Amino acid sequence: MPEPTQDDIPNEPWHALEAEQALQRLDSTAQGLTRAEAERRLEIHGPNRLKPPPRRSAFERFVAQFHNVLIYVLIGAAVVTALLGDFIDSAVIAAVIIINAIIGYIQEGKAEQAINAIRNLLSLEATVLRDGTRTTINAEKLVPGDIVYLQAGDKVPADLRLLRERDLQIDEAPLTGESVPTEKAVEPVDEAASIGDRVNLAFSGTLVTYGTATGVVVGTAEDTEIGRISGMLAEIKPLTTRLLQEIAQFGRWLTAVILGMTVLIFAVGVLWRDFTAEQMFQACVGLAVAAIPEGLPAVITITLALGVQRMARRNAIIRRLPAVETLGSVTVICSDKTGTLTRNEMTVQTVAMLDEQLEVTGVGYGPSGRFSVAGRAIDPAESPRLLELSRAAVLCNEATISREDDGRHLLHGDPTEGALVTLAMKAGHNDEALRDAHPAIDTIPFQSEHRFMATLHEVESQPTIYLKGAPERVLEMCDRARNAHGEDVPIDHGYWHQQMDAIASRGQRLLAVAVKRPAPDAGDLSHHHVESGLTLLGMVGIIDPPREDATAAVRACHGAGIRVKMITGDHGKTATAIGSQMGIGRGREAVTGADLDALDPQRLREIAHASDVFARVSPEHKLRLVAALQKSQQVVAMTGDGVNDAPALKRADVGVAMGLKGTEAAKEASEMVLADDNFATIAHAVEEGRTVYDNIRKSLLFLLPTNGAQAGIIIVAVLLGLTLPVTALQILWVNMVSAVTLALALAFELPERGVMHRAPRDPAEPILTPFLVWRIFFVSVMLVAGAFGLYAWVRMNDGSLELARTVAVNTIVMGEIFYLLNSRYLYLPVLNLEGIFGNRYVLIAIAVILLLQLAFTYAPPLQLLFETQNMPFDMWWRIIGVALLIFLAVELEKTFWRRRDASAQQARNQEPHP
């Protein structure tokens, strides 16, 4: 036997081939493979399972936390201080480095598990034909060319080209997003057909809900549709969030500035001010420690963690911490339809009868709802034909609905049939009582080639046939229709086709319901009884309706300047209709996956930006749309629940998975999971995300002037040839204890007014805008002037160096305390009750820091460690005076900016409009 090669099994468009052609290309027959041939092919293709992804060890993930330019500078500072024999300073700096690494390691959380989740979707066993004998084998041993049997309840074990089927329906929602199971067929389809339209294929991991079939294996493991999605996931590199990118850029910029300053100051001190090299090493270490915001990683992490807690209380579970802030920067939300924007519960919304079309309210499988005509409510009890139509809908039906103890109504059976049972309950029927009173005598089950179902009952002492099915087929079987007076009149096919077009244009799926009362001696029910002579009762329009709260959330997102796009595998008309009801797409026709295939990259970016509803899309299409939007500088959130959503969820800036009905693959590929599967929760999460970003920016605006002031004090001291006013260890105390404690209070700030009425921040906008840079410089200069001024005053009045340094540190900290109040609002004034007392955590932080500073100043152990000295009481008044001046100066600066912005807005309003 020749050595096996991969070319033994060709890669074909199997859905476009006749069944016999597929068997020939696979070198197989309807009798299946021999065991020897199956073994040979197993050697070629390997087991029918997905390969596990490579993983980083815990040690590698921990070491990666040190890969940061600011950390490199701190490591260098620790080494230099150790070489100079200052082991206490060196140990404190090293402790800061290790604490930051631990925080980062914890923050990273669980490793990516999306591919493992997809692997679990594969079937465990399969029924195949080997050596002409039907047998059950482990699904991992399936090979291309195997003949596989399917029946209701089976998980499809590999990708199959169907050879024969009987009433086969498969739930493909995880792959296509379809609201209802797909009816399968054997005939070839167009080669360009989308995944959802390849009705002669059964895909690995999907669930058979009805019927039986036989198919030939055309793909296993990585060659299946699920395998392709797994491969796409493996190739997608997780994006770094905008915040982390900006912090990394800020770190590089700050490192360059620090290194430049230290070199310059070292040269100035040695060459101009005659300091020794050792003295300048110590000064430069102090400068580096002063300029680096060591507490920033901790502040950002805790601010994000608080955001996670607040989101969890609103049913948004964050899996990766930085995603909290990214939510606040989102400019586009790409949402799946089924189960996210809609309820994933089929509902009858329209009942068309002769000369009358009813609207039906209520959603889901609960019986609450009413009937109306042109907005006028009607009583179902006064419409005999509506009562008979809804009775027929229950009796010609195999679904049931149960009411749980908690009041929820659960469907057991086909979603479309469940919608009909619900319709009958809304009309006043008790479905169980109806079935008990009129049990089915005989049944013609639904078959795809006949496209209808019929049941025989005894109603009002005479045999009665009820029938439901595809409208086109049922119309062929009807010669009369029931009018409003209960009379059967000749059927007008033109009228009913108009009704069908009108209901279908709203994206609703159609079913027709008919009745026939045969002669008492008709006997058992057979096809010839229903070929003709039926009376059409009416047609129903069924749709998976939008969630009301999701519709309101879409409006909220639009108000916040966020575009909402629907990207679904469902049909175009359905997607267009749902989008129109929810205010998505402005009524424009959906763009289909086939349309996207014909676009070049530039045109794809244009369409991705201009259109809001996309239908009949594959996983590749979703991924391309997300990537196209990101290339247009959009920050994209992607929602989804199926395996087909996983690649796009992973590629998006924020992947949002459904917690209740979502697959594990979708959850593991996402940054956030909605515990209630509700799109409205995303709007709440965006509000929290914007608040988190505001609070991080406020924390930066608060922390950086402290670093700037400490670095400025050292620079001024060197330039003047003076002893350093603060030591490196005192600087670490201010940075890691007082500044961080105060900054954390800002993490508890509530959303500012109008946070969801402003546009998303520009993705290209740096975290430190020119205004923030000015504010940092302005406050830093005032802190330098105040701290250095009091330090110099103490020294000129014969105060000791230790006392002067104690005064300088306390001046910086007291300035921070007053500036913390300024920082609660970037522009708004805080000289009011809300501004001073509105955040109790600010008051708590101030109280804690005052106690810590008293210990820093007067406690002997801390005096020994930090080289501080008891400070006279009257010095506190001078320090508070300086801090109060800084507070008032910042409030005056805010007033200037508010007036400037108001003047600019007034000038824009007075401009003539074209």
Catalytic residue numbers read 336
Determine the 3-state secondary structure of 501 from DSSP. helix
Helices 225-235 and 619-631, axial angle in degrees (round to 10): 20
User: How far apart are alpha carbons 789 and 886 in whole angstroms?
Assistant: 14
Kindly report the length of the chain: 914
172 DSSP 8-state letter: -
User: How far apart are alpha carbons 395 and 453 in whole angstroms?
Assistant: 11
Nearest to 470 by CA among 505, 426, 514: 514
User: How far apart are alpha carbons 671 and 242 in whole angstroms?
Assistant: 14
Find the DSSP H helices in 177-317: 225-235, 242-271, 277-291, 296-312
Burial of 837 (0-12, 13-18, 19+ CB in 10 A): exposed
The β-bridge partners of 412 are 400
Q: How many CA atoms lie within 13 A of 743 on its CB side?
A: 31
Longest dimension (CA), the chain: 123
Burial of 902 (0-12, 13-18, 19+ CB in 10 A): exposed
User: How far apart are alpha carbons 98 and 62 in whole angstroms?
Assistant: 10
User: How far apart are alpha carbons 730 and 769 in whole angstroms?
Assistant: 30
User: How far apart are alpha carbons 718 and 788 in whole angstroms?
Assistant: 12
Burial of 661 (0-12, 13-18, 19+ CB in 10 A): middle
Determine the 3-state secondary structure of 826 from DSSP. coil
- CB contact at 8 A, 432 and 421: no
User: How far apart are alpha carbons 193 and 556 in whole angstroms?
Assistant: 36
Place of tokens 């949402």: 335
12 DSSP 8-state letter: -
Place of tokens 């014909």: 598
3-state helix, strand, coil in the chain (%, to 5): 50, 15, 30
- CB contact at 8 A, 292 and 277: no
- CB contact at 8 A, 431 and 412: no
User: How far apart are alpha carbons 744 and 749 in whole angstroms?
Assistant: 10
User: How far apart are alpha carbons 372 and 351 in whole angstroms?
Assistant: 10
The β-bridge partners of 359 are 350, 372
- CB contact at 8 A, 838 and 823: no
- CB contact at 8 A, 715 and 261: yes
Helices 679-720 and 242-271, axial angle in degrees (round to 10): 0
Determine the 3-state secondary structure of 507 from DSSP. coil
Nearest to 862 by CA among 88, 84, 281, 75: 88
User: How far apart are alpha carbons 719 and 272 in whole angstroms?
Assistant: 9
- CB contact at 8 A, 910 and 902: no
